[in-house]
Structure 1
Amino acid sequence: MASTSIRYGGGVSREIGMDLQNLGAKNVCVMTDRNLSRLPPVKAVLESLVKNRVEYKVYDAVRVEPTDSSFKDAISFAKNNSFDVFVAVGGGSVIDTCKAANLYACHPDADFLDFVNAPVGKGKPVGGAVKPLVAVPTTAGTGSETTGVAIFDYEPLKAKTGIASRAIRPTLGIVDPLHTLSMPERVAANSGFDVLCHALESYTALPYDQRSPCPTNPINRPAYQGSNPISDVWSRHALHIVAKYMKRAVRDPEDLEARSSMHLASVFAGIGFGNAGVHLCHGMSYPIAGNVKSHSAKGYNVEHPLVPHGLSVVLTSPAVFNFTAPMCPERHLEAAEILGADIRQVKREDAGAVLADMLRQFLFELQVEDGLGAVGYTKDDIPALVKGTIPQERVTKLSPRAHTEEDLSRLFEASMKLY
């Protein structure tokens, strides 16, 4: 079980300058994106650095939903400046970009694909230490402040892939709930859906003791190891918080209790899935985000077409959990109950239908687009979506139920319209 040290509380960003001083930092890289660079979270962090006389340079060109080329741009900035500590202020895109910049700056001779997950890259284990990374999450979704995973769009394949290694996990996550107040309503919704699916997928993933073959050496053991008794505690707890607070957090940006609770739920789900892993919703989401044509996401100030990560993940969730339920119906029923279903009269064989209905209701109440059709896909796109899912073995093989390409086609088809 591996996780990052977390410090939580309103206003804790003020302490980051002291943390960097305590680390002996002489030259700090602060990464963020252009929108955030003008907002209170970045201002709070930079004020703390100035107050504590910490030298820093800001890189604010992180792309929302990063690509291999945007990663490479951040990596070259890091390589050119010999930083001794990295600070990421932002959502998952910023934290993931910062992880990659830190990794490749510390391994200057590595080829970009060396550490990228197989089969897209070589999936080599990371040898040698990286520099300390302090993550300051401003969204309540990815849990990236707790995980050793960095996700990006690999443009040649139009599919997402990533780097997964415990070595790139942040040293410290500074979780300041005041930062979530700057999230627009749709960003709060989509990042919350990421938390929901992290919790559901890690709780229903193939159990750790059913994975095979056993790695020949512990260094080769994947960060994502299947559902396990410790991750289960975090995933289940995160699901309870989502059920209680997510709708409030989306509907009222001033609801500090709800937004703070979702910020913590993101951390809890991150600890859960950062060790257990996710499965089909995430595996199928990568081509949904990667093949986007013209969908413009409400609430995101970006110039390129975008299906935000949390939205691309949650749109397939009713179909996916209906499909996986026969393998562990009790867990699917328990999840449905946490989300508000009355399961007293429900048979085990109906677990998938009940959870799928609860998810549809949840999405409908939060005004989510009506399936893949509503974000620009048609049945003609299904072969490309399936093709983009196949390389995502790192997560899809954690599905509790084995699946074929035909199964994936049916799941995409069932997700074209939700309501």
Structure 2
Amino acid sequence: MAPAPDAYPIDPNGEVGFTVEAARMKFGPGMLAELGGDAQALGMQRVALFTDPRVAATAPFAAGLASLKAAGLDVVVFDACRVEPTSASFLEAAAFAADGDFDGYVSIGGGSVIDTAKAANLYATYPAEFLAYVNKPLGEGRPVPGPVKPHIACPTTCGTGSETTGVAIFDHVEKQVKTGISSRHLRPTLAVVDPRTIDSLPPGAIAATGFDVLTHAIESHTARPYRTRPRPENSTLRPPYQGANPWSDIGSLQAIRLGGQWLERAVNDPADSEARDALMFAATLAGLAFGNAGVHIPHAMSYSVAGMNHSFTATGYEAVDPMVPHGVSVVLNAPAAFRFTGPAAPAAHLRAADALGADTRGASPEDGGELLATRLIAMMRATGLPNGLSALGYGEADIPGLVTGASAQQRLLTIAPRPVSDEDLRGLYRDAMRYW
């Protein structure tokens, strides 16, 4: 089948290969008890342990800290990580890291904690003005000079996949948009994934992080093919986000299947440890996939959705300052986005819809985008998510600001299977205002 007229064509003189830089990972209940040995094996002696106040009070954190201390390591705890970090909170963490003269980092927490540890490690290792390493156009986009100190990332949510990626995301409060720092050198040295860490997560947090898993996976599977990109002058210039490829498709499709099978059960039955374990594994699979292929329109749109709203209180996040959780800000854009991208990659969208559990009997590839959107909306309703962006308080008057923030995310938008204009973004935000 010929691609849609506005899809990116395969360039016969362009990219012919892709690079896989998968993170080391260990998975299983009780793995935090092995943390001390893991840190020793990486040569750590003086360790910065990053977490947030809520995680610091949990049994999994206590187990990880005890293991580090039992190994005879000098551990200093930084428990001031902010949920949905800001430029200011990154700077605070970086100052702590610079003063501590650490030779290794451990993060126990959600993506916010892991990303904060990445940024602290970077700025302590290679000091620079804050915007030096931040992605263009909001920052200079300066390449990270080289390897940073060893970092063991231990996720306590089933969503971000940050334990396997080289990306650190923060809220640029002054610009009212989220952005980040991206480098292969930021990828944690080891991911320790212990599914028992999410046993106490409230259903709302499971929903938000679980939909982050799904959107990561679907975006990476429906991304523009790697062979549509220009071939770099040398291998070191190949970007971290390379487009959909045979490696990323393996992890993304399985993550979509796991999410479609288990997400609703994990949210609606807090005692279902089997469902939560499956989501934890799906999160790591999705991280491995999108860390290689990339994410596109839903994530690009999400950064202004979260950056412009600091008054919304999400279910499951009542104990933290008002904000739009990352997974919520992403998935509320996803049905509109996949309807838009479906015609440019119909087979990939139909595969994703089928993996998610949509009824694809008798469907043609052209139906893929709509089937995918419909299935996602049904899952959102079944798990109590807000009904589109209007439920967060957004309306027509906010669309210009939302578009400005999303349009700045060209690193992500160029991963979409078709070009995305500001006019397209305006239509997508309108479509995402309400779904049922």
Alignment TM class, shorter chain as reference: over 0.9
TM-score, normalised on structure 1? 0.97
The residue number in structure 2 matching 1:279 is 296
Shift of 1:253: 2.0
State which of 241, 244, 249 in structure 1 corresponds to 2:258: 241
2:328 corresponds to 1:332: no
Shift of 1:183: 1.0
The residue number in structure 1 matching 2:276 is 259
The residue number in structure 2 matching 1:164 is 182
Report the RMSD for the aligned CA atoms in angstroms.
1.1
Give 1:411's aligned amino acid: L
Give 1:90's aligned amino acid: G
- Indicate if the aligned counterparts of 2:205 and 2:317 stay in contact, CA closer than 8 A: yes
> Matches of residues 193-204 of structure 1 in structure 2 within 5 Å?
193-204=211-222
* Residues 39-74 of structure 1 deviation map (CA, whole Å, 9 limit, x = unaligned): 112111111112222111000111100011100000
The residue number in structure 1 matching 2:160 is 142
Shift of 1:302: 4.4
Shift of 1:82: 0.4
Shift of 1:340: 2.1
2:335 corresponds to 1:318: yes
Structure 2 unaligned spans of 5+: 1-19
For 1:345 and 1:107, the matched residues in 2 are separated by 56
- How has the CA–CA distance of structure 1 residues 255 and 161 changed in structure 2, closer, same or farther, with 3 Å as cutoff? same
Shift of 1:239: 0.6
For 1:192 and 1:136, the matched residues in 2 are separated by 17
Moved more, 19-28 or 406-415: 19-28
Give 2:220's aligned amino acid: S
- Indicate if the aligned counterparts of 2:83 and 2:320 stay in contact, CA closer than 8 A: no
The residue number in structure 1 matching 2:373 is 356
* Residues 129-188 of structure 1 deviation map (CA, whole Å, 9 limit, x = unaligned): 210000010000000010000000112211111011010100000011111102111111
- Indicate if the aligned counterparts of 2:135 and 2:179 stay in contact, CA closer than 8 A: yes
For 2:407 and 2:370, the matched residues in 1 are separated by 26
Shift of 1:259: 0.8
Shift of 1:232: 0.5
State which of 42, 52, 57 in structure 2 corresponds to 1:23: 42
- How has the CA–CA distance of structure 1 residues 293 and 91 changed in structure 2, closer, same or farther, with 3 Å as cutoff? closer
Give 1:194's aligned amino acid: D
> Matches of residues 294-305 of structure 1 in structure 2 within 5 Å?
294-305=311-322
Q: Secondary structure at the match of 1:35?
A: helix
State which of 270, 281, 285 in structure 1 corresponds to 2:287: 270
Q: Percent identity, aligned pairs only?
A: 48
Shift of 1:251: 1.5
* Residues 96-122 of structure 1 deviation map (CA, whole Å, 9 limit, x = unaligned): 0000000110002x2211111111111
The residue number in structure 1 matching 2:8 is none
For 1:145 and 1:344, the matched residues in 2 are separated by 37
For 2:348 and 2:234, the matched residues in 1 are separated by 32
Shift of 1:303: 4.5
Q: Secondary structure at the match of 2:97?
A: helix
Shift of 1:304: 2.6
For 1:382 and 1:391, the matched residues in 2 are separated by 14
Structure 1 unaligned spans of 5+: none
**Which 4+ residue blocks in structure 1 deviate beyond 4 angstroms?**
none
Shift of 1:95: 0.2
* Residues 355-376 of structure 1 deviation map (CA, whole Å, 9 limit, x = unaligned): 2111111111111111101011
For 1:27 and 1:52, the matched residues in 2 are separated by 12
